[in-house]
Chain A
């Protein structure tokens, strides 16, 4: 694999704090295949800057030497299917474009930082500019493909129906002292530019509001951009008021389909309310000049109705994007669909793409460019068409899917067949 397919700039300006307070080098880090999370390095034991400058040196060295670390596997998977990866996005933030890789790298504003690390065993004098801050699992939603580590509602339900023995431990940001300590680190951090928050549902998570307020009160908001995703079940005037004081906001709105299937998958959403909040957040985003996106997590239950989201996005010139192809739980992967259903989904998607022609353009890595929203939507649709046509056949996992759905439905009193009657044959044959 060539250097331009492995090198990533992210460890020179980005890091993540997870729900447990453990640090990780990357928000896109692969969750299997060699992930090396050092649980000893967390907010209780070491400052973020020390972790970033010292403990991430090995990763920087690997990248400078042209190696392909296992923790970067997810990005390689996305690139394979024509989806812009985290690696490509992070390179773009320091001016490195795939198409002009060598010259743009040689003239990158981070060139001297790369040179320094190359001479100093991966060490750096850079500081974190771009954070992913995981705020814990405080969430009013219980999406079927989510897990207890990301939804407190699901955690409670899982415990009640015996899918887990214990609910996940409290998040680091539920500890007022740790939160204060982190806020102090942030406000004293030079060159802070972007904070991306992940829940749970960020809008109702107390830590989100507290961090935003602290940055506003410290007079830093006008130089910082905020990114977050809402599940389209809540609205908060006070959070909106805080957000409007920041330099820029990257707003993600999670939705899987604009049909009742969304209610089953993003339980307990209700379609009219989802639509109302989608319209409201979209209108606010356009009014404020925010960069807005519809965030999807296509699964075997939703991929055939994906075009309803693309339609809305096309009409509102709003980008659509998933962070990744879903990996866990394995039985929600698109490859679980039998050939016939995959073919039907492919036909729908191909027809949609054919009906929405866009001009020739280079591959869009800056997926938030509002001037390229429609081209980006088609690019996203093409990546899913490619995935549908080439993903490994995992239909042997259908019985696992059925077992899991029946367990959830016993708690929720609903049935997948109410929403997806066309799946009756394949689900029945797998034990539904």
Chain B
């Protein structure tokens, strides 16, 4: 950028990258803002990329289903990392995620071992959210 006008040339999107690691063969649904970006009986690590508007609110969810606890004791999905524009969010901010599951075990985690849904919500533009949660102080406007 040389002048403010050059800001018009900036990509008005943010890039989300999700890295998942299966334990066993978990049935997993991965969504960003209700768009299904991954559905699989995972057996290998997977990396998913998705773009959303710079000013969009974002909801990322990872859902584990069809786990049979008696026969698949160890089956799980591990969220190795989530980055937005190469900024690492997990595990640093996993305490901000909501984890609803059939064992009512809602402790912050990125290791999903129960049937249920893990959701990380950015209820404002991503960089405003980051400003607040990385302790940058008040935001005017």
Whether A193 pairs with B138 at a CB distance below 8 angstroms is yes
Binds B, one of A96-104, A267-275, A296-304: A96-104
Whether A7 pairs with B4 at a CB distance below 8 angstroms is yes
Whether B127 pairs with A95 at a CB distance below 8 angstroms is yes
- Which of A65, A92, A103 touches B137 (beta carbons < 8 Å)? A92
Whether B139 pairs with A371 at a CB distance below 8 angstroms is no
Whether A118 pairs with B139 at a CB distance below 8 angstroms is no
The tally of residues in B whose CB lies under 8 Å from a CB in A reads 27
A105 at the interface (CB under 8 A from B): yes
Closest chain A residue to B125 by CB distance?
A: A107
Whether A105 pairs with B141 at a CB distance below 8 angstroms is no
Tell me the residues in window 2-38 of chain B with beta carbons closer than 8 Å to chain A beta carbons: 2-7, 10, 12, 14
> Which of B55, B85, B130 neighbours the largest number of chain A CB atoms within 10 Å of its CB?
B130
CA–CA, A365 and B131, complex, Å: 12
Whether A93 pairs with B4 at a CB distance below 8 angstroms is no
Given contacts A95-B131, A110-B140, A193-B138, is CB(A64)–CB(B3) below 8 Å?
yes
A interface, size bucket: 35 or more
- Which of A4, A64, A94, A225 touches B139 (beta carbons < 8 Å)? A94
- Which of B12, B137, B138, B139 touches A106 (beta carbons < 8 Å)? B12
**Could you say which residues of chain B place their CB within 8 Å of the CB of A13?**
140
Given contacts A103-B54, A109-B139, is CB(A65)–CB(B3) below 8 Å?
yes
- Which of A7, A63, A107, A369 touches B128 (beta carbons < 8 Å)? A107
Given contacts A100-B85, A103-B10, A104-B127, is CB(A3)–CB(B141) below 8 Å?
no
Contact with A along B104-141 (1 / 0, CB 8 A): 00000000000000000000011110110001111111
Tell me the residues in window 77-102 of chain A with beta carbons closer than 8 Å to chain B beta carbons: 92-95, 97, 100, 102
CA–CA, A100 and B54, complex, Å: 13
Whether B136 pairs with A102 at a CB distance below 8 angstroms is no
Given contacts A100-B127, A103-B10, A106-B54, is CB(A66)–CB(B3) below 8 Å?
yes
A130 at the interface (CB under 8 A from B): yes
Closest chain A residue to B85 by CB distance?
A: A103
- Which of A2, A114, A130 touches B140 (beta carbons < 8 Å)? A130
CA–CA, A265 and B58, complex, Å: 54
Closest chain A residue to B12 by CB distance?
A: A106
CA–CA, A369 and B135, complex, Å: 6
CA–CA, A13 and B140, complex, Å: 9
A86 CB to closest chain B CB (Å) equals 14
Tell me the residues in window 44-81 of chain B with beta carbons closer than 8 Å to chain A beta carbons: 54-55
> Which of A66, A103, A368 neighbours the largest number of chain B CB atoms within 10 Å of its CB?
A103
Closest chain B residue to A64 by CB distance?
A: B4
A153 at the interface (CB under 8 A from B): no
A290 CB to closest chain B CB (Å) equals 14
Contact with B along A340-381 (1 / 0, CB 8 A): 000000000000000000000000011011011000000000
A42 at the interface (CB under 8 A from B): no
Whether A66 pairs with B4 at a CB distance below 8 angstroms is yes
**Could you say which residues of chain B place their CB within 8 Å of the CB of A369?**
135-137
CA–CA, A186 and B67, complex, Å: 62
On A, residues with C-beta under 8 Å from B are 2-4, 7, 13, 63-66, 92-95, 97, 100, 102-110, 114, 118, 129-130, 193-194, 225, 365-366, 368-369, 371-372
With A66-B1, A107-B126 known, 7 other A-B pairs at CB within 8 A are: A64-B3, A66-B3, A66-B4, A100-B130, A103-B54, A107-B54, A194-B138
Q: What 6 A-B pairs come out closest when comparing CB atoms? A: A109-B141, A366-B137, A64-B4, A3-B1, A369-B135, A66-B3
